[in-house]
Amino acid sequence: DTGVSQNPRHKITKRGQNVTFRCDPISEHNRLYWYRQTLGQGPEFLTYFQNEAQLEKSRLLSDRFSAERPKGSFSTLEIQRTEQGDSAMYLCASGGDNQPQHFGDGTRLSIL
């Protein structure tokens, strides 16, 4: 069990730039989740996939955000035209039937 892997661990970028994060889930898990966590808060749900289908998106996920899971394995989360308010920890989790969600170490995004 290699766990959930996220890359990069840290991303610093200028406001207005696009960024992309990658998540590799536990291989036997069919569901993959993205959450966002800001300082002093618990994770907030962004979106989730079952296999390659994106089944739910939060209202937090503005038009500048897009997530994909093209082959039902790894997933990417892209943020276009980043804003100061996008600074946060982006967490990926995976899970399966009767399996609790397992989290990666996250990608910390800092917008200059």
Partner 1 sequence: AQSVTQLDSQVPVFEEAPVELRCNYSSSVSVYLFWYVQYPNQGLQLLLKYLSGSTLVESINGFEAEFNKSQTSFHLRKPSVHISDTAEYFCAVPQEGTYKYIFGTGTRLKVLA
- The binding site for partner 1 (CB under 8 A) comprises 4, 6, 31, 33, 40-45, 48, 50, 56, 91, 93, 95, 98, 100-106, 108
Shortest distance (Å) from residue 22 CB to partner 1: 14
Nearest residue to 2 (alpha-carbon basis) of 102, 111, 110: 102
| Closer Cβ to partner 1, 85 or 100, answer by number | 100
DSSP per-residue letters across 27-82: TT--EEEEEEE-TTS--EEEEEEETTEEEEE-TTS-TTEEEE-TTSS-EEEEE-S-
Shortest distance (Å) from residue 94 CB to partner 1: 11
| Closer Cβ to partner 1, 19 or 31, answer by number | 31
Distance of CA 60 to the CA centre of its chain: 13
| Closer Cβ to partner 1, 22 or 80, answer by number | 22
Shortest distance (Å) from residue 100 CB to partner 1: 5
Shortest distance (Å) from residue 9 CB to partner 1: 8
The H helix count followed by the E strand count for the chain is 0, 11
| Closer Cβ to partner 1, 17 or 110, answer by number | 110
